[in-house]
Chains A and B, each alone.
Chain A
Amino acid sequence: MIRGEHSFIRGTEQDDVEALFGLYAPGVLRAGLLDARREPLLVTRDDLRDLLTRKEIADGSFYTVESKTGAIVGFCSIRGLNTDARFAEYGIQFTDTDCYGADLAREVHDFLLDRAFKRLGLRKVIAHALTEETAMVEFLRGKGFMSAGVQREILFSQGTWHHLETLVLNNPSFNASQAVS
């Protein structure tokens, strides 16, 4: 467990299913929870229990974020590692968007970058956000993420089309000579 000044970060456990299930509540669109076809998933708690037994999760690429009071306030991950081009997907999901403006979010971000850039030696991380996820986009831009573009009308939900922005953060200390493993 990583004990921060404002948070605890630890590998996600089976016991976290209820909090994870809460992220999938209808009516809240989250790019990080869409499938490969960019469709929202209608998950059950059983689905999530199965998900948490998968190797990448058991091996520790998916983490639970707790506040200092021990309440689960979100999840984060570095996943989809591409070993050839040395990048991965960066994901943060908070149960309350107010968390993006809190010190806790900075600690989670620092933790993910430590994993991605120092431990894994990645060149960059990539995040996705629906254009409605304004708190997350603002947070990511504040941390130096740059937009790589917006895929238009990629998701239909709540009677309208939604756009998906892809944001990239390069590893500032990455040596160009390490470009390809």
Chain B
Amino acid sequence: MPFTTTTYIRRAERDDLDTVVAWMESADFQHFLYGDPARSPKLVREKIVAMLGRAVGHTMPGGIYLLIDSPALGPVGLLSLQNISWRNRSCSIDLYIGKTEHRSGIIAAGAVYQTLEYCFHELNLHRVSAFIYSFNTASWRILEKTGAKRELILQDHVARDGNLFDLYGYGLLRSEFDAFRAEYHHTASGFSLEAMIETLGRAGTEPDG
């Protein structure tokens, strides 16, 4: 039976500022991704405003910030495409699910799948990278399920709570994602960008950008 979701991804905008600031200031975000609790809240806010204000429509941005949204749940998480190289047709992705109960579930998996489709089939990228801490098992398992290869293991590379943890570097080539997509197309069809746009259309909502 195909999995379906009403969750969709869209560009983050100014109205999302409070939500994004709250996520980025949370200890959880700083544990799994980056940040420092000692940072000035004003500077964090200014940085996010700058990031939300980056043009995307007709330019070639180096980064794109996407909100994972849901009609039923509201904003669920944040996805960022960083270090986009239009020459190498590559980027790295970061995913943060703000609502902890959805972290290892179908919403996170669906958002990753939609993002990879967006990267490969809309932005025409060739490669997507992700750097994930070893203790973030839910994240690297989701990525491995899409066909991403663990290419890099940097031992004792990340300090958290007085301990050192490994960092995993993942790489997913378009050909690998397409192979995964072909194999699981029936199951994952409810996650696709096409399904997302259809769902939004039915709800009378148009996707942003």
Residues of A within 8 A of B (CB): 36-39, 84-85, 87, 123-124, 126, 148-156, 166, 168, 179-181
Indicate if the CB atoms of B151 and A151 lie closer than 8 Å.
yes
Indicate if the CB atoms of B62 and A37 lie closer than 8 Å.
yes
**A87: which B residues are within 8 A, CB to CB?**
157
Closest Cβ of chain A: how far from B129's Cβ, in Å? 7
Of B90, B151, B156, B173, the residue contacting A149 (CB under 8 A) is B151
List 8 additional contacts besides A37-B84, A37-B87, A166-B154; criterion CB under 8 Å.
Answer: A39-B88, A85-B159, A126-B154, A148-B153, A150-B151, A151-B169, A154-B129, A156-B126
Interface residues of B in 137-190 (CB under 8 A from A): 149-159, 162-164, 169, 171, 173
Given A39-B87, A39-B88, A85-B164, also A152-B159 (CB < 8 A): no
Indicate if the CB atoms of B88 and A152 lie closer than 8 Å.
no
Indicate if the CB atoms of A149 and B85 lie closer than 8 Å.
no
Indicate if the CB atoms of B151 and A85 lie closer than 8 Å.
no
Q: Does any Cβ of A come within 8 Å of B83's Cβ?
A: yes
The CA-CA distance from A87 to B157 in the complex, in Å, is 8
Indicate if the CB atoms of B88 and A156 lie closer than 8 Å.
yes
**A148: which B residues are within 8 A, CB to CB?**
152-155
The CA-CA distance from A153 to B126 in the complex, in Å, is 9
**A151: which B residues are within 8 A, CB to CB?**
129, 151-152, 169, 171
The secondary structure that dominates the B interface is strand
Indicate if the CB atoms of B162 and A180 lie closer than 8 Å.
yes
Sample (15) of A-B pairs whose CB atoms are under 8 Å apart: A37-B87, A38-B85, A85-B157, A149-B151, A149-B152, A150-B152, A151-B129, A151-B151, A151-B152, A151-B171, A152-B171, A154-B88, A155-B88, A156-B126, A168-B154
The CA-CA distance from A123 to B127 in the complex, in Å, is 31
Of A36, A168, A180, the residue contacting B83 (CB under 8 A) is A36
Indicate if the CB atoms of B154 and A153 lie closer than 8 Å.
no
Of B152, B153, B173, the residue contacting A153 (CB under 8 A) is B173
Of B150, B152, B164, B173, the residue contacting A179 (CB under 8 A) is B164
The CA-CA distance from A21 to B163 in the complex, in Å, is 42
A162 nearest in chain B by CB position: B88
**A180: which B residues are within 8 A, CB to CB?**
159, 162-164
Closest Cβ of chain A: how far from B178's Cβ, in Å? 14
The CA-CA distance from A151 to B153 in the complex, in Å, is 11
**B171: which A residues are within 8 A, CB to CB?**
151-154
The CA-CA distance from A36 to B85 in the complex, in Å, is 9
